[in-house]
């Protein structure tokens, strides 16, 4: 019998020295938040300070996931960069709006729009 793995899929696409796109799918919760945090921290470690998170395949997010996003936004600003969120599902978007994260972290319709904004931010 196979071991149950956390239901989170993160794919990283490096765009240039300062920019990475992370596609996040599945469920971002207490069990999986650390995995996403490690992916984000690794990008900052390698000098990428403009991060685009494609949330279009993220079906669920709880406060643990939200905390990872808030921390990533803060870390990006400290690195003179930014965090861009792309196409959150309605359930995830609602959490982002209720908590006010959308006031400080831009939401975009697609990755291309977010990359354009990230390029202009640098």
pLDDT at 9: 95
> At 119, is the pLDDT very low, low, confident or very high (cuts 50, 70, 90)?
confident
The answer to whether residue 74 scores a pLDDT higher than 50 is yes
Tokens of 67: 């905390």
The answer to whether residue 1 scores a pLDDT higher than 50 is no
Q: Which helix (H) or strand (E) holds 15?
A: strand 8-16
Looking at domain 8-108, what is its CATH homologous superfamily?
Answer: STAS domain (3.30.750.24)
Residue 58 CB coordination number (10 Å): 24
The per-residue pLDDT for range 6-56, each reduced to its tens digit, is 699 999 999 999 999 999 999 999 999 999 999 999 999 999 999 999 999
21 vs 15: CA distance, rounded Å: 7
- Per the prediction, the chain carries an average pLDDT of 92
């Amino acid at each position: 019998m196979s071991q149950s793995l956390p239901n989170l899929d993160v794919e990283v696409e490096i765009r240039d020295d300062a920019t990475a796109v992370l596609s996040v799918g599945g469920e971002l919760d207490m069990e999986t938040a650390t995995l996403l945090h490690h992916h984000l921290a690794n990008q900052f470690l390698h000098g990428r300070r403009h991060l685009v998170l494609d949330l279009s395949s993220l079906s669920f997010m709880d406060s643990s996931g939200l905390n990872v996003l808030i921390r990533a936004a803060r870390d990006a600003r400290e690195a003179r960069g930014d965090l861009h969120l792309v196409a959150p599902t309605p359930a995830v978007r609602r959490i982002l709006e209720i908590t006010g994260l959308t006031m400080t972290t831009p939401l975009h319709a697609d990755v291309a729009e977010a990359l354009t904004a990230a390029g202009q931010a640098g």
